[in-house]
């Protein structure tokens, strides 16, 4: 999966660290997502909360945004745009 970098706001903005995803952050995110999908009864909110709790540098909003980007990537791949 391609690593996307999201520009953070002004210096000192608390979202700065949670908006940038390193390759190791991405790998951990995808691993935790896969591990938690079956164990949370299909509730994506529960899954994302569990994933966010296990990635110390990311908050729930950052995890939600990353999930939305992943969904978009999958749709583009399935549609043959990638």
Report the chain's terminal Cα–Cα distance, integer Å: 11
| 50-70 per-position pLDDT tens digit | 999 999 999 999 999 999 999
Instruction: Give pLDDT, residue 17.
Output: 58
**How far is 30 from 59, CA to CA, in rounded Å?**
15
Whether pTM exceeds 0.75: no
Instruction: Give pLDDT, residue 18.
Output: 64
Length in residues, the chain: 82
Instruction: Examine the pLDDT at 3 and tell me if it is beyond 90.
Output: no
Q: What is the mean pLDDT of residues 39-53?
A: 88
Instruction: Examine the pLDDT at 8 and tell me if it is beyond 70.
Output: no
> H-type helices in 1-82, by residue range?
16-19, 23-37, 44-54, 60-78
């Amino acid at each position: 999966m391609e690593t996307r970098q999201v520009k953070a706001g002004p210096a000192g903005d608390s979202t700065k660290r949670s908006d940038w995803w390193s390759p190791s952050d991405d790998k951990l995110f995808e691993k935790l997502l896969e591990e938690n999908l079956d164990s949370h009864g299909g509730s994506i909110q529960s899954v994302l909360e569990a994933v966010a709790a296990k990635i110390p540098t990311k908050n729930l909003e950052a995890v939600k945004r990353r999930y939305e980007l992943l969904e978009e990537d999958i749709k583009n791949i399935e549609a043959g745009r990638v």
